[in-house]
Each structure stands twice: as C-alpha cells, then as structure tokens.
C-alpha cells in the first residue's frame, strides 16, 4: 500500500536530489568540487533515509541508483535500433588524402567542414533515453546486438540519468553513443589493489574499463573510477541537430563530459597540422591522464553523412587516424609451429617476455616461410616487436648488429607438428597445409569453431575442453559432440556432474539452431557468417545447397569464383558428406530457412538510391527493397533505376534528373512494394 508522503518531505527529497546531482557534476565533470566530503555524505545519507522510509519515491533518475545492485546471473542481449558502426583505420597522410578524394568522387558538393577529435581508447557504449530518462545502457557487441549493462552504466557518475525537459520533449528517444574509459591514475591504483589481493593486474586502462563495465555485480562497477565521454548520436535526421557541432552543444547543455581538443576545420591540410600536434602529445602517452590511440575525423554536416552512407560496418564519412603501433626489442627464444582449423601451418615466435603498449607479449606471428626467409629471422636474434593496430603482436625486423654468433636458422617442418603427416604447399599459396582431416590440432580448432557463437553456440565448450575431447578421441569430427554421454565427460579434468549436465543440455539445445548457424559451423573454407546467411537465404535447405552447381553459385552476388569452388568441393568431398550425415544422425534439425526475401516484379533486379530526410530510417527502406529483390546503391549513375528522395535531397536528386532516373517519394516506394 502506497504511503502518504508529507508535502514537506517530498519537497526536501527533490531539493536533495538536485543538490547532489549538482555536486556530482561539479566534482566528476568539471573537476571543481564545491562541497566538503562530509557535507556531501550528509546530503546523500538523508536522501537514502527518505527513500528507505518511502520506497515508492525511488525513481530511475535518483542519485541512489548509482550505488550498484546485487549480482545478476547474466547480461541480456540488447538490439540497437541503429547499427553501431566501426571506423575504417588509416595511418598516413596519403590515406587521409585518399579518404578525402573518395568523398568527392561520390559527387557531393561539400564545404569540407571536418571535425577532428582525439580518439579515446575505451569501451564503446550506447545510452538510450526515453522521454528524458536513461532506460538502457548497452555495449556495442557485433554492432547490431550488444549486452544490456544498464545497472552498471548507472553507477558511472558522468552519465546523466535524466535529460532536461526541453530535450526530452524535443527528442522522445535519444540514443547517445560514447566511450567509457578509466583514467590512468585510477588504473594504476586499481592494479596496485589487484596485486595486493593476489589477483592478476589489468593489461591496460581499456581492458580495465571493459572488465569493470561487464561485471555481473554492479557494485564492483560502482567501486571503479570510470568516465563516460559521448562522441555522437545514432540518428542523423533529428530536427535541430543537423551537424556534429550542434550535437556537441546539446551534450554540453545536458552536462555530459566533453572530449577536449575537438576542432572544426576546413580541408585536409588543417587536419594534417592538427594530427602533427596530436602526435607530439602521443609521445607522452604513458603520462596522459586518458589513453588515446589516434584521432577521429568526420564530416560535420549530417546531410553529407547521410548522402555518403556506409559500406559493410563502416561509414564512408569518417575515419580513425591511428597512431603507429608501439614497438619494443626482445629476444627470439624459439619458433613454434601451430596448426589451424584449415590445416595451415603457422610459425609463431616464442619471445622473452616484453611489454608493448602496456601489454606483456610472449608470442608473435611470423606468418609463413617466405617471411622467415625474407627477414632472415634466426633463433637467438634480437627482434623488434610491434602490436599491429595495438592488438596483434608481430615481428617487424631483426636487429642484425645484435645477432649472436650461435644464432640458428629456422628449419621449416616437413611433416605436421601435430599428426606427423606430410604437409603440402599448394600453387599460389604462401602457407603450408596439413591435409590430414583427422589431424588432432585441426580437430580441436574445428570443434571450437563449430561450438562458437556464430555457429552452434554451445555454451561451456571452450578451447581447453575441445582439446581434451580431441586428445581422448571422444570427438574426431565436430558432429561427434551429439553422441557424448555423461559417462564420457565425467572423467575429464575439472568436469563435475553439474557442469557435465549443463554441457549436455547446451548440446541438445544446439540441435535447433537456424540454418545460417549450421552452415557457418561446418567450417567451409572462406564461408563466414555473412556468406552463411546469404547461402541460407538463397537455397533455404541444406539439401539444395549440397546439390548446387558451381555455375549457379558464381552468379550470386557476394559469392566469387574462389568461394563458389570451395563450397562445391566441400559438399562433393567425403568430409562434407560425412559431417551432414553425422549431424542428421545426431538429431540436428536442419530447419528450412524462411527468408524474408520475396521478389516483387518491378523491384527485383532494379537498382535504387536513397537520399534526403525520410519519415523512417533509410535502413528501413533499404531492407524492404532488398527483401523484394532490389539492390540499394550509394551513388547515382546511369545504371540507377529509381531514386527514393526525401526532404532536403541534394546533389543526388540533381544527378538523377540529369540521367532521367525515375524519382519516388515515400508514397511512391510503398505503392511500388504493394503492387
């Protein structure tokens, strides 16, 4: 039963919340505390006291919601309304010039108004505000679906829980995107605490920030010093927000923390000059308060951004100009040869441990025999290590002046290091391969691939368990998983009764996976998740796919001649046939894939271009057109059949008129789809 709240108490609570949020803003965003800690604590304790007495007064935007809550069991998926994109990466001024040329090649009349901002190295997050209240905080995930980490995000003091009434009224749904980072000083304090507790330190501030946000217990997140910096919004067609600069002003008004040193410039020469200044700053990276890994460069005007559109997962209107990878010297102690899922033999450098870019590196890629010979890499050499893209360790070169007299040349194996079968190097390939389909190392990798999220998504089946299953010969090909029993599993290391039961349940559940997942899980060389979905849409059943001819595959957009041959060879060979047979025997359903595609006469085979501001996102119409068999292009040409034009259509409309392209408004495209 709801308690009656004295008017005096209600007013006091409202005043307390306002005071606390003001103090939080001054302390966490402006870095100018205006009250002593003891006085702040009194205000906060009084607020909690009132909320405890009158629990129905607790609201989503109360400062009390920042303290964290009890652990959750798992993160729920959150589907982004608009895809979160990744940025194309460049590292040279020449690549920046190429980016600028590509923009002009599309025929846009732009004033070259660019935004330059430092690129903070953190965890990408989306905040969803509905009617001014923060309702969801989620990670990027794969760009389309992330993890709902709302309770954790609410603990970050620089994330506003509520927007102003004016903004809420103007934008009932506002999706703010940005980066969660951990300041370096707080990162170092956290690592000291980790070590004192006998725990492993975090590799770098980005990993610490990501690990803190993805805690199942949000009270742990609340204990970490995290900061949120917004860098944009999801939509480019909101009235009154026509440029990035206008969005930046909105962020300031709503008391977000703003990334400093952002500039609006004209032309790429100014961008190059700014980047030079940033490089000077980068030389002090270990001493900077926030980790940066380059700069983001984007067009300021949202209309221009929409005109340019995107390719795959990256926008055409922005790039990330990354710093050159950090390097370090160390000793090459040995070369180990690993065997991948497709049998490729890869040389791996076994290094004397060295820190590169805040991460301890003990292994690095040597790629293939040609690289070993070209760089004349020998065991005992002093080598320069680089973390390519600040992620993948790579051996750049040898420091020949430091080569010891007893340095040994690397001998490439003649047989597979896993199964001792002969290896082959096929014409046109740089790599050697083990062609034994039952090679233990390949089996492990194939099991791991098969059970992964893009495939059969078998929870609890990681690399260590895959290794045990292969070594014990319980699984020789991935479909053998469907014949495992609890008696098979219990003797394995770290396998208790409950864990075995849960694994068997996960294997059983995977039998109902949709066809695209199954096709990807098969491990057909060259077939990734995108190609797997395309094949499922095109053929609908595994039987039709198995029977398809090379000539038919080659005509499908997105399937080139090499991939087409790979698919045909897989299903024509014993491996593909045995896998399908064994999967069916194990109870995998192979459901018919009900594609949303339904070709419509008048649209199928036609090329469309979409421009201007529409009542619905462009992706909405793009999906409808593609499901009807049409193709959506980003640029108008003589081959364009239709232009879907909204308000404020620009140069594309003029170009379409010049070519005599048929122009549709929203009513026109809907009528065409219905007809």
What three-state secondary structure class fits 480? helix
Residue 663 to residue 285: CA distance in whole angstroms: 52
Spell 245-280 as b/e; 16+ CB within 10 A means b: eebbebbeebbbbebeebeebeebeebeebbeebee
Report the C-alpha gap between 62 and 14 in whole angstroms: 9
Give mean pLDDT, residues 303-320: 83
In this prediction, residues 364-389 reach a mean pLDDT of 84
**pLDDT value, residue 70:** 55
With a cut of 80, say whether residue 333 has pLDDT above it. yes
Instruction: Give the position of tokens 């004397």.
Output: 352
- Sign (positive or negative) of CA dihedral 178, 252, 157, 148: negative
Mean pLDDT score of the chain, rounded to an integer?
85
Per-residue model confidence (pLDDT) at position 627? 79
Instruction: Kindly list the distances between the CA atom of residue 118 and the CA atoms of 44, 83, 138, 260, 616, in Å, as whole numbers in the listed order.
Output: 35, 23, 23, 8, 32
pLDDT tens digits, one per residue of 132-163? 999 999 998 878 888 999 999 999 989 999 99
Mean per-residue pLDDT, 19-25: 80
Calculate mean pLDDT across residues 31-38: 68
CA distances to 176, 189, 571 from 580, in Å: 45, 54, 9
Nearest to 123 by CA among 110, 141, 111, 105: 141
In this predicted structure, what is the pLDDT of residue 150?
Answer: 92
Least confident stretch, 173-187, 331-345, 388-402, 643-657:
388-402
From the options 3.40.50.300, 3.30.565.10, 1.10.1740.10, 3.30.470.30, give the CATH code of 82-322: 3.30.470.30
Enclosing H/E stretch for 447: helix 440-451
Sequence-ordered alpha helix ranges (H) in 264-332: 268-282, 302-308
Is 90 exceeded by the pLDDT of residue 189? no
pLDDT above 70: residue 265:
yes
| Domain 7-58 matches domain 607-674 at the CATH topology level | no
Q: Which one has a higher pLDDT value, 204 or 330?
A: 330
Largest CA distance in the chain: 88
Say if residues 231 and 140 touch (Cβ distance below 8 Å). Answer: no
Report the b/e string of 167-199 with b at 16+ CB within 10 A: bbebbeebbbbbbbbbbbebbeebbeeeeeeee
Exposure string (b/e) for 312-341, b if CB count within 10 Å is 16 or more?
A: eebbbbbbbbbbebbebebbbeebebebbb
Query: What's the DSSP call for residue 118?
Result: E
Predicted local distance difference test score (pLDDT) of residue 252? 93
| DSSP summary character for residue 234 | S
Taking 60 as the threshold, does the pLDDT of residue 52 lie above it?
yes
Assigned CATH for 440-512:
1.10.150.20
Residue 343 — pLDDT band, cuts 50, 70, 90? confident
Q: Is the pLDDT of residue 392 over 80?
A: no
The CATH code that applies to domain 327-424 is 2.40.50.140
Position 357 scores a pLDDT of 64
The residue extents of the domains of the chain are 7-58, 82-322, 327-424, 440-512, 515-585, 607-674
What pLDDT is stored for residue 15 in this prediction?
87
**Contact between 447 and 415 (Cβ < 8 Å):** no
Mean pLDDT across 7-21:
84
The length of the chain is 675
Neighbours of 240 (CB within 10 A): 8
More confident position, 649 or 527: 527
Give the model's pLDDT for residue 655. 85
CA distance 581 to 559: 25
Average pLDDT over residues 240-260: 93
Residue 349 has pLDDT above 50, yes or no: yes
The CA distance from 584 to 508, in Å, is 13
- pTM for this predicted structure: 0.56
Mean pLDDT value of segment 363-380: 87
Residue 412 DSSP class: P
pLDDT (tens digit, 9 = 90+) per residue, 101-130? 888 776 554 557 889 888 998 899 999 999
The fold of 515-585 is DNA polymerase; domain 1 (1.10.150)
Query: Rounded to whole angstroms, how far apart are CA atoms 531 and 523?
Result: 12
Q: pLDDT of 402-450, one tens digit each? A: 999 999 999 889 999 999 999 988 776 778 889 887 888 999 999 999 9
Distance CA 633, CA 618 (A): 12
- The pLDDT-based confidence of 1 (bands split at 50, 70, 90) is very low
**607-674, superfamily in CATH?**
BRCT domain (3.40.50.10190)
Q: Picking from 208-217, 320-329, 601-610, which range would have the lowest pLDDT averaged per residue?
A: 320-329
Was domain 7-58 assigned CATH 1.10.287.610? yes
> Residue 109's pLDDT is what?
47
Segment 509-532, tens digit of pLDDT: 999 999 999 999 999 988 888 788
Q: Tell me what pLDDT residue 152 has.
A: 92
Using 50, 70 and 90 to split pLDDT, how confident is the model at 390?
very low
Counting other chains too, the contacts that 467-473 makes at CB distance below 8 Å and 24 or more residues apart are 468/492, 468/493, 470/440, 470/443, 470/444, 471/440
**Pairing mode, if any, of strands 642-645 and 662-664?**
parallel
- The set of catalytic residues is 119
């Amino acid at each position: 039963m709801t308690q009656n709240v004295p008017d005096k108490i209600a007013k006091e609570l409202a005043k307390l919340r306002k005071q606390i949020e003001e103090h939080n803003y001054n302390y966490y965003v402006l870095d100018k505390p205006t009250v002593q800690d003891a006085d702040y604590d009194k205000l906060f304790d009084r607020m909690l006291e009132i909320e405890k007495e009158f629990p129905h007064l607790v609201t989503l935007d109360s400062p009390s919601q920042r303290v964290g809550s009890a652990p959750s069991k798992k993160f729920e998926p959150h589907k982004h309304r608009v895809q979160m994109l990744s940025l194309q990466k460049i590292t040279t001024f020449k690549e920046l010039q190429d980016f600028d040329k590509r923009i002009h090649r599309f025929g846009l009349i732009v004033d070259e108004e660019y935004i330059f901002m430092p690129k903070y190295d953190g965890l990408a997050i989306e905040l969803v505000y509905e009617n001014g209240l923060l309702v969801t905080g989620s990670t990027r995930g794969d760009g389309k679906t992330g993890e709902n980490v709302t309770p954790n995000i609410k603990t970050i003091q620089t994330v506003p829980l509520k927007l102003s009434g004016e903004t809420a009224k103007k934008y009932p749904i506002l999706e703010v995107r940005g980066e969660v980072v951990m300041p370096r000083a707080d990162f170092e304090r956290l690592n000291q605490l980790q070590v004192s507790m006998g725990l492993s330190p975090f590799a770098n501030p980005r990993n610490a920030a990501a690990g803190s946000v993805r805690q199942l217990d949000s009270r742990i997140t609340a204990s970490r010093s995290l900061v949120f910096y917004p860098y944009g919004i999801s939509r480019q067609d909101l009235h009154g927000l026509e440029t990035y600069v206008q969005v930046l002003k909105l962020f300031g008004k709503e008391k977000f923390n703003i990334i400093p040193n952002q500039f609006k410039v004209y032309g790429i020469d100014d961008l190059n000059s700014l980047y030079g200044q940033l490089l000077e700053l980068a030389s002090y990276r270990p001493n900077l308060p926030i980790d940066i890994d380059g700069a983001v460069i984007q067009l300021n005007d949202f209309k221009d951004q929409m005109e340019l559109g995107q390719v795959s997962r990256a926008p055409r209107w922005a790039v990330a100009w990354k710093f050159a990878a950090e390097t370090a010297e160390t000793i090459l102690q040995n070369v180990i040869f690993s065997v991948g899922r497709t049998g490729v033999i890869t040389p791996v450098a076994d290094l004397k441990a060295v820190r590169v870019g805040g991460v301890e590196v003990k292994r690095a890629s040597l790629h293939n025999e040609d690289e070993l010979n070209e760089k004349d890499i020998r065991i005992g050499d002093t080598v320069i290590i680089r973390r390519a893209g600040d992620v993948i360790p790579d051996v750049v070169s040898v420091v020949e002046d430091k080569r010891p007299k007893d340095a040994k040349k690397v001998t490439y194996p003649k047989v597979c290091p896993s199964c001792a079968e002969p290896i082959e190097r096929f014409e046109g390939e740089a790599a050697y391969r083990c062609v034994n389909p039952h090679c233990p190392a390949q089996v492990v990798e194939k099991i791991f691939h098969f059970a992964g999220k893009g495939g059969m998504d078998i929870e609890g089946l990681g690399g260590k368990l895959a290794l045990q299953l292969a070594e014990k010969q319980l699984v020789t090909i991935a479909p053998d998983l469907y014949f495992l029993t609890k008696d098979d599993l219990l003797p394995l290391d770290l396998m208790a009764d409950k864990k075995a039961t849960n694994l068997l349940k996960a294997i059983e559940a995977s039998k109902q996976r949709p066809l695209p997942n199954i096709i990807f899980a098969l491990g057909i060389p060259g077939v990734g998740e995108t190609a797997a979905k395309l094949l499922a849409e095109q053929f609908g059943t595994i039987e039709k796919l198995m029977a398809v001819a090379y000539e038919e595959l080659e005509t499908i957009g997105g399937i080139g001649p090499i991939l087409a041959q790979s698919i045909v060879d897989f299903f024509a060979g014993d491996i593909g046939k045995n896998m399908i047979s064994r999967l069916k025997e194990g109870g995998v359903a192979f459901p018919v894939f009900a594609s949303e595609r339904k070709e419509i006469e008048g649209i199928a085979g036609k090329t469309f271009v979409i421009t201007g501001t529409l009542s619905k996102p462009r992706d909405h119409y793009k999906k409808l057109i593609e499901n009807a068999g049409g193709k959506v292009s980003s640029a108008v040409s003589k081959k364009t059949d239709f232009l879907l034009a909204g308000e404020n259509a620009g140069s594309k409309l003029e170009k379409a008129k010049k070519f005599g392209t048929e122009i549709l408004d929203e009513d026109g495209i809907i009528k065409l789809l219905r007809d």
